[in-house]
Amino acid sequence: MHFDLPVGNVASRNLVYCSPDDTLAHAAHAMRTHQCSSILVKDNHKIIGIWTEADTIKLNFNRADIIYQSVGSHMTSPVESVPSQTRIGEVVALFRRKGFRHCLVDYPDGSQGIMSQTDITLNINVDHFLTLYKVKTVQELCLTMDSSLAFAKAVDIMRLRQTDAAVVIDAHAKPIGIITQADLVKVIANGNISLTLEHVALKDLIVINKNDSLLAAREALSSNRIRHLVVTNDEGRVEGMLSMRHILHFLQLEYSSQLQVALSKRDEALKQSMQDLNLAERVFEFAMEGIIITGPEGQIIRTNPAFTLLTGYSEEDVVGQTMSILASGKHDPAFYGQMWHSLKHEGKWSGEIWNKRKNGELFLEWLTITAVYNEFNDITHYTGLFRDVTEHREQEEQIRHLAYFDELTSLPNRRLLKDRVSLAIASAHRKQHQLAVMFIDLDQFKRINDNFGHSCGDDVLVELADRLKRITREDDTLARLGGDEFVILMPMIHSYKDISTLGKRINHVLKEPFQLTENQTMHVTTSIGASVYPDDGSTVEDLLKNADTAMYSVKANGRNGLQLFQEEMAQRSMQHFTLEAALRNAIDNHELEVHYQPKVDVKTGAICSSEALLRWTHPELGHVSPAKFIPLAEENGLIESIDQWVMNQVCQQLKQWQTQGIAVTTAINVSPISLRHRNLVKEVKDLLNHYDIQPELLQLEITESAFIDDIEGVATQLKTLNDFGVTVALDDFGTGYSSLSYLALLPINELKIDGSFIQNIPDCKNSDMLFKAITGMAKNLKLKVVVEGVETQRQLDYVKQLGCDVVQGYLTGRPSTASVLEAALLKQNALETV
């Protein structure tokens, strides 16, 4: 409904005037002439009143001179007026409230118009709405008057009944016409008021069916230029009357109720927006993010408490300033240029920005700026929302650092090294040059950890990292892969000489001993393996693997050296790998067996004891020598369970022999690792108790390397066992440190001279001298001397002549199964008994 239109749009600009002194007849005549329903009364160019059709009903037509009375005495004054912008709906309400049908309309230019109910009804665009309703919803009962009724009397009745129209009927009650206020004007204009209704009433009765639409009614009113219709039912009988006023009244009611709905909607929206505003204010106050509101030029208007918390600036400090008060100086003008460009063209910008707190501290924030527009699409404000992400960034960097750097030494880790090697390969490929990867492993690092603790081990690694850093070039990458493994990547080498040069420099920096504890220093050596691109591999993995293999080759050859990768190493490494995998399952798969080799008394030729020697037969690899798999087991930690298994097997065997009446002291080889890590004393005692074997039947064979690190600890363990009855043999004597000083400290019962010495006897003078010295010294220390590897009678004669006590070798008996030794022992016992 167009009740919202300004009244100025539909008001009539054809104003008809008269003077207050003009007669009513004159005024009515003028209204008739101009076909209007009102006349404005002007005095001295000023509108002082209005006389309308509606006023005619108030006249007393019983007075013959009534029509000659002045307009001024019957007009309505003052005239109601409204500004032209007033909405039609408000004018309709005004009409209804005051009972008017006309009002003046004042235009801003000083001109005037007039607005009537009829103008409104005809001009507002309510067609669609009018189609929805039928005439019967609006019609009113009508007054009927006999056609013979005098005009003056009829007007009296109409006034009394407060109606502006009546249906005129004939003597048969048949409607013959209608009398309205317009007819009253006509009578006044004609000057003859002593008529009956028959002469006054309109003869062509214009009717409308009560079921027709209001739109049809309005069309009928408009096209006939009338304001009243007679309403009939389907039988054609008069049921009522419908006027412009009725329609307008109805429209106004509808408008009011629609207005009511609109107003309550507006109130609701207002309430909602108040709530939203309140909420927004609370969000602003309590947000964890800093909020800044600026004007279109960037001058700060408001900030929230979080802003103060994050920047140190109070709101008063910054209001009126621009955001540049926070500038850190870390971004160039181009950065800010791009930000403003984005804001102006896209209305938003977000990103990380370094800003400065009031105390000068820089901080990184994540800032989102959004432009606020008015209805004309002009930017009125900018809102900036930010949070401090400095800590977040630091954490990210820390995570990145952890991901790419070793925590202990801060050197690049394996991941970063791989990246660097990969880049170096790409560059070497492009520029056609060589690069080298050097794998560096600390020798005996485990011993440092075991004996001095892990923190001391860590200190050594950090010190080593520092020393290595000092000798690497800027382009080189020194990385720690973990444990005691370091890698140096030389992204460009001119020749293999570069590798040995760096190797020498490494040796040089290692000359200085490492401080392990306050009082203890230690010389550290390294095993270094190197591989070269493209000769030894073209991928990161190959180069690292091959350098590692070369390093292992150095380890295998006695450590402390540098070795370039060679193809055959790869094959060896593969075998090594296969063997290790197979060994892990050897015990569970029952592939291991203990063999026994007799030890024979030199003087009597009788078996006096035996040595348990492990044998491994793999279904595919066949017989694998302990010389091969024992060092492997020592490297990968399997040796402890292997030694444990052997000890258990031997004790079981000893028990069995004991029950058969065979008592033969049997030696078990104990790896230095088992000696260091396991609680050997408890284990041995438990086993002997479990099988109920005399401790004297068990001997432990140890090598010098077992006590080189911790002579006191080993001595204590062996002493306890020795006191218990278990004897100890020092194996492979002459091949290791051969330091005689500790022999006195340790509870050693037997000294086993390594088989390699007897091999050269008696031809080799040096061996002969050595042999004699060892035997002499052993005798002085009251140690039993056992000579290993005796294969010939000549050798046996030699040791016999030297006064050695026991021999062990192929000559007197090869290592064989328990049953073989058992048979030999039973035979020997039988002979002794005889």
Ligand X SMILES: Nc1nc2c(ncn2[C@@H]2O[C@H](COP(=O)(O)O[C@H]3[C@@H](O)[C@H](n4cnc5c(=O)[nH]c(N)nc54)O[C@@H]3COP(=O)(O)O)[C@@H](O)[C@H]2O)c(=O)[nH]1
Q: Smallest distance from the beta carbon of 828 to ligand X, in angstroms? A: 19
Q: In the window 736-755, what residues touch ligand X (CB under 6 A)?
A: 755
State the binding string over 143-172 for ligand X (x if CB under 6 A, else -): ------------------------------
- Cβ nearer to ligand X, comparing 788 with 805: 788
- Cβ nearer to ligand X, comparing 548 with 611: 611
Q: Is-contact 587 551, C-beta < 8 A?
A: no
Q: Is 611 in the site for ligand X (CB under 6 A)?
A: yes
Q: How many residues bind ligand X (CB under 6 A)?
A: 24
Instruction: Using CB under 6 A, pick the residue from 90, 463, 768, 791 that binds ligand X.
Output: 791
Torsion sign across C-alpha atoms 461, 463, 468, 473: positive
Q: Smallest distance from the beta carbon of 672 to ligand X, in angstroms? A: 9
Binding segment (CB under 6 A) for ligand X, from list 224-232, 328-336, 443-451, 804-812? 804-812
Candidates 660, 646, 719, 648; CA nearest to 690 is: 648
Instruction: Using CB under 6 A, pick the residue from 183, 732, 750, 805 that binds ligand X.
Output: 732
* Exposure letters 437-472 (e unless 16+ CB within 10 A, then b): bbbbbbbbbebbbbbbeeebbebbbeebbebbeebb
Q: How many other CB atoms are there within 10 angstroms of residue 823's CB atom?
A: 12
Q: Is 630 in the site for ligand X (CB under 6 A)?
A: yes
Q: How many other CB atoms are there within 10 angstroms of residue 495's CB atom?
A: 10
- Cβ nearer to ligand X, comparing 76 with 669: 669
Q: How far apart are the first and last CA of the chain?
A: 141
Burial of 707 (0-12, 13-18, 19+ CB in 10 A): buried
Q: Is 813 in the site for ligand X (CB under 6 A)?
A: no
- Cβ nearer to ligand X, comparing 484 with 643: 643
DSSP string, 699-745: EEEE-GGGTSS-HHHHHHHHHHHHHHT-EEEEEEETSS---SGGGGT
Q: Is 731 in the site for ligand X (CB under 6 A)?
A: yes
Q: CB neighbours of 367 closer than 8 A, spacing ≥ 6?
A: 349, 350, 351, 352, 353, 384, 385, 386
Q: Is 193 in the site for ligand X (CB under 6 A)?
A: no
In angstroms, what CA-CA distances link 43 with 21, 37, 50? Answer: 9, 20, 12
Instruction: Using CB under 6 A, pick the residue from 88, 124, 614, 753 that binds ligand X.
Output: 614
Tell me how far the alpha carbon of residue 230 is from its chain's centroid.
79
- Cβ nearer to ligand X, comparing 187 with 790: 790
Q: Is 651 in the site for ligand X (CB under 6 A)?
A: no
- In the chain, the amino acid numbered 789 is G
- Cβ nearer to ligand X, comparing 162 with 625: 625
State the binding string over 476-505 for ligand X (x if CB under 6 A, else -): ------------------------------
Q: Is-contact 289 384, C-beta < 8 A?
A: no
Q: Is 598 in the site for ligand X (CB under 6 A)?
A: no
DSSP string, 447-507: HHHHHH-HHHHHHHHHHHHHHHHHHS-TT-EEEEEETTEEEEEEEEESSTHHHHHHHHHHH
For the record, the structure tokens of 816 come out as: 């064989």
- Cβ nearer to ligand X, comparing 386 with 771: 771
Q: Smallest distance from the beta carbon of 625 to ligand X, in angstroms? A: 5
Tell me how far the alpha carbon of residue 784 is from its chain's centroid.
74
Rounded CA separation 92/101 (Å) = 9
- Cβ nearer to ligand X, comparing 317 with 791: 791
Q: Is 669 in the site for ligand X (CB under 6 A)?
A: yes
Q: Is-contact 417 481, C-beta < 8 A?
A: yes
Instruction: Using CB under 6 A, pick the residue from 251, 543, 789, 796 that binds ligand X.
Output: 789
Residue 194 per-residue DSSP state: -
Q: CB neighbours of 413 closer than 8 A, spacing ≥ 6?
A: 403, 404, 405, 406, 479, 480, 481, 482
Name the CA radius of gyration of the chain, rounded: 61
Rounded CA separation 189/33 (Å) = 10
Q: Smallest distance from the beta carbon of 587 to ligand X, in angstroms? A: 12
State the binding string over 672-711 for ligand X (x if CB under 6 A, else -): -----------------------------x----------
Q: Smallest distance from the beta carbon of 556 to ligand X, in angstroms? A: 15
State the binding string over 538-577 for ligand X (x if CB under 6 A, else -): ----------------------------------------
Candidates 248, 238, 188; CA nearest to 24 is: 188
- Cβ nearer to ligand X, comparing 577 with 810: 810
Instruction: Using CB under 6 A, pick the residue from 534, 626, 736, 747 that binds ligand X.
Output: 626
- Cβ nearer to ligand X, comparing 167 with 730: 730
Q: Smallest distance from the beta carbon of 815 to ligand X, in angstroms? A: 5
Instruction: Using CB under 6 A, pick the residue from 23, 294, 671, 699 that binds ligand X.
Output: 671
Q: What residues make contact with ligand X under the rule CB under 6 A?
A: 597, 611, 613-614, 625-627, 630, 643, 646, 669, 671, 701, 731-732, 755, 788-791, 808-810, 815
